[in-house]
Amino acid sequence: MPQELHSVTPAAAPADGTGWWRDAVIYQVYVRSFADSDGDGIGDLRGIRDRLPHLAGLGVDALWITPFYASPQADGGYDVADYRAVDPLFGDLGDADDLVRAAHELGLRVIVDIVPNHTSDQHAWFRAALPGGPARERYIFRPGRGEDGSLPPNDWESVFGGPAWTRIEDGSWYLHLFAPEQPDLNWENPEVHDEFDSVLRFWLDLGIDGFRIDVAHGMIKAAGLPDVGSRDQARLIGGKELPFFDQDGVHEIYRSWRKLLDSYDGERIGVAEAWAHTPERLARYVRSDELHQAFNFAFLKCPWDAAELRRVIDSSLTAAGAVGAPTTWVLSNHDVVRHTTRHGSADRARAAALLMLALPGSAYLYQGEELGLPEVTDLPDELRQDPSFFRGEGQEGLRDGCRVPIPWTQDGPSHGFGPAGSWLPQPASWAALSVEAQSGDPRSTLELYRSALVLRRKLDGLGDGEMEWLDAPDGVLSFARPGLVCTLNTTPDDIQLPVPGRLLLSSSDLEFAGGDVRIPGESCIWWAI
């Protein structure tokens, strides 16, 4: 039976009526932890290629692959020494080419990471900069403060903890907003612009379909590099204006990159990993002449609360819609605690997934979330590799727990991850969460995701488009898409409601009586209307 319409959330209007990215489901592959083809315990490009049928069968539209470039691996490959070479850990350029071709044959697009805010300290440019001279203009070097220059040039802190400056032998300091092995580039230097235009073309010519831009908000710093004036600066990211993030000058870069992307056939895209202190600031990255998508971290960080979820959904759709862009939704990634653990239960995680996939726009899945994997919280300290763990501050050293290699089979030395062990140990309980164990089980999280993605492709009302909020009890969210109603019960208690339509998919078992349905706590349901 129909429900009364309550309030309308404006939908993002396409700028040109096209764009595969506007409703795409994109699967993040953390290359070290997806599949190992050669038995060294580390995932690689051939491993990804071999497991592409899983992604095609899951029903995603594209995969985003974390950095596989030549790197000392001080920060999981986000410290790039050569942007045009594949690190031998992961294969070679031939493997990258094979992967892209195999993905395209299965109807999957490929997005790769690009890391333009900083390089590795082993990059040829930085090695040339250390002795001094014009090569230093490619990075941000400054004299120190104090009578002897022994104090950092300002009070900026690294996202990983500690000062954002390191002093070298001649007394100068260089900026690194992340680890000391990741010196920040100087995007005021035209050489940096030219180099990255060349790097983008190199990978576009190989056939990739777009770039996820790491620290997309960081390349331009405020003039004069002013002090922040407070400590614990990593905790302010996304909540306060900061002189080293989200400066207006980044948008000139992305307008140039958009022209470059548009010069290639096949709708190649740019995706911003950008933190901004308001939804309106974030929307600036996806104006019609800039990037195509920006990650919606407000949704990822939102607590399990109906009122807060509705507020974030409304503000996200409104801000993106004002510039004609699609909204993105994401629950987990390689930098945060997996949402099964973060939200507190597998039931909440399953319900959150159905909520996300019913919202207008594009969705990102992080490898293993389709299996309901929890965070691994008991890794031995001696096995951890996250630089923020060793620096003791910043991102609290929790990122290794979401990067444990995923299980493919119930047996084997690494549950099918590879022919030997894995670089981080997998819990024994993950055998029951493996792809093999869950496939064909209609009650499994894997089959829930597969069913949801089949319906998302099949139903015209899902993906990009309109939504309208419906009246619902406290703690319950209900909204209509064309031909569909989504009902989310965030409370721990069962609720009884009139049946709104024909059942399509539910994250938990339902009970029907007459014209009513009893919806369990912490569950989400899709109805055809």
Encoded amino acid at 158, one letter: S
Catalytic entry in 273, 386, 400, 522:
273
Q: Identify which of 182, 179, 251 has the alpha carbon closest to the alpha carbon of residue 220.
A: 251
Sign of CA dihedral 134, 136, 142, 147: negative
Q: Identify which of 78, 319, 85 has the alpha carbon closest to the alpha carbon of residue 212.
A: 78
Encoded amino acid at 304, one letter: W
Is 232 considered catalytic here? no
Is 44 considered catalytic here? no
What Å distances lie between residue 90 and 45, 48, 80, CA to CA?
6, 10, 14
Q: What is the DSSP string of 87-139?
A: -TTT--HHHHHHHHHHHHHTT-EEEEEE--SB--TTSHHHHHHTT-SGGGGGB
Q: Return d(Cα 526, Cα 502) in angstroms, integer.
A: 9
Q: Return d(Cα 89, Cα 102) in angstroms, integer.
A: 20
Helix axes 190-206 and 250-262, enclosed angle (nearest 10): 30
Q: Identify which of 374, 487, 506 has the alpha carbon closest to the alpha carbon of residue 447.
A: 506
Structure tokens that stand for 151 in this block: 């104090």
Q: What is the DSSP string of 6-74?
A: EEEEPPPPPSSS--GGGG-EEEEE-GGGT--SSSSSS--HHHHHHTHHHHHHHT-SEEEE---EE---T
Q: What is the DSSP string of 198-219?
A: HHHHHHHHHT--EEEETTTT-S
Q: Residue 5: in which H helix or E strand, if any? A: strand 5-9
Structure tokens that stand for 321 in this block: 């819609």
Catalytic entry in 36, 61, 214, 369:
214
Encoded amino acid at 253, one letter: I
Q: Give catalytic residues, as residue numbers.
A: 214, 273
